[in-house]
Amino acid sequence: MNDIHVFLISFIIFWLLVYFIGRRLLQNKYGLSIQPFFIKWESKLFRNLLYKYSRKWGRFWRTFSWMSIIIGFGLTCFSLIFFLWNIIRAALFYERVSSATLVIPGVTLKLYWLPYFLIAVVITVLLHESAHGIIALSEDVNIKSAGMLLLAFFFGGFVEPDENELKKSSIITRMKIFSAGSASNMLSGLIILLLLSGLFIQSPSGLIILETLEGGPLEKAGIGPWDIIYSLNDQRIHTLQDLADFMSNIRPGERIVVRTGRGDFTVIAMPSPGGGQRAIIGLVSSLPYYPSKLGLGYIFDTHLYLTLNWLFIVLVSVAIFNMLPIPYLDGDRLLQCSLEKFPKGIILKRFFNMLSIFLLVANIMLSSI
């Protein structure tokens, strides 16, 4: 049974239990609303916290709200240029590009990444929605409700401002509110990047094993995912290139002493499935291992690094994506505010809507090629 089958079975069992047990015991209690593949949690605690902290650090929130507008427009411009440049590079220069990918656990996202991804998504959503709510309150726009959502396997959040007060507020106020979420994500992403740079040694000292060949030398020796390969036959292995250089001098059947974080293991190189005399140890997927400066061991270092790394990726990705001028995204609301006084603002808005959707779809298609 492969990863996708395990995920689908677990997914179906989870939602069956949630729907039949949750609807019977928890429906309309504790602010919960449960529907097929959908949970909405309206939290009074979250709403009260937004009111509490919006009254503190007033000068900070005012400064941040003005910065949010600048960051918001910057992210909108960057997202459009980034996606357009991807298409130009792929179409004219035949380059492989960093494009948008739909996140589908077990298909485009390996299941061993799922815990890190979910942690990053929850933190990102909380920061995003908290920023919307706090800036709205600091601008005297009340919050009706706030909470979290779960749609299938996608987490989300919501902060519902008073629509009448929001409509009556100034254009600048609405710009501050709509841009605050992505601005908070981008600034948080930069803080995480600084943490990664400060906490971890910037040169790798080994390879983190993510996947091994079933029945391969590493698996037979008891070496598996999350082990660290430090050396082979006392030759230091820092990168995949180091591994490739070492294996180029090894023949099938030779014994190799693998030094890991759990001690030394002896493996016997096997012939490559592709034939020929090339030998392999059965390493399918790996990442460079960057030790931390905290000295708490490779297990802690590995999971802390991956958690922060995923948090940085999700924070920045959401900040950029959310500021695309696509209907229902904050980028569209910000654009609508900025064009409100223009005679033909609605035409410009529709143009950018169509352009953004085209660029996003084209980039997703590029990722599948």
Q: Name the architecture of domain 206-289.
A: Roll (2.30)
Mean predicted confidence (pLDDT) in 15-43: 80
- Given pLDDT bands bounded at 50, 70 and 90, which one contains residue 27? low
What would the two tokens of residue 141 be? 């726009």
Residue 179: how many other CB atoms lie within 10 Å: 32
pLDDT of 168 above 70: yes
Q: What's the angle, vertex CA 281, arms to CA 277 and CA 283, rounded to 5?
A: 120
Does residue 23 register a pLDDT over 80?
A: no
228's CB contacts (< 8 A; 6+ apart) are 206, 207, 208, 209, 260, 261, 289, 298, 302
Collapsed DSSP state (helix, strand, coil) of residue 360: helix
Question: pLDDT tier at 127 (50, 70, 90 boundaries)?
Answer: very high
What is the reported pTM?
Answer: 0.90
Which of these, 314, 305, 322, lies nearest to 122 by C-alpha position?
A: 314
Which strand (E) or helix (H) includes residue 349? helix 345-367
Q: Which residues contact 160 (CB under 8 A, 6 or more apart)?
A: 143, 144, 145, 146
Percent of the chain with pLDDT over 90: 68
Between 339 and 2, the more confident residue is 339
> Band of the pLDDT at 28, cuts 50, 70, 90?
low
Minimal CA–CA distance to 76: which of 335, 287, 341, 359? 335
What's the pLDDT score for residue 32? 82
pLDDT band at 194 (very low <50, low <70, confident <90, very high): very high
The pLDDT confidence band at residue 30, using thresholds 50, 70 and 90, is: confident
- Calculate mean pLDDT across residues 229-252: 93
Residue range 220-249: mean pLDDT, rounded: 94
Residue 157 has a pLDDT of 87
Higher pLDDT pick, 104 / 272 = 272
Cβ atoms of 285 and 211 within 8 Å: the answer is yes
Average pLDDT, the chain: 90
Maximum separation of any 2 CA atoms in the chain, in Å: 77
How do the domains of the chain map onto residue ranges?
Answer: 43-199+309-367, 206-289
Q: Which residue has the higher pLDDT, 335 or 367?
A: 335
Q: pLDDT at position 18, please?
A: 83
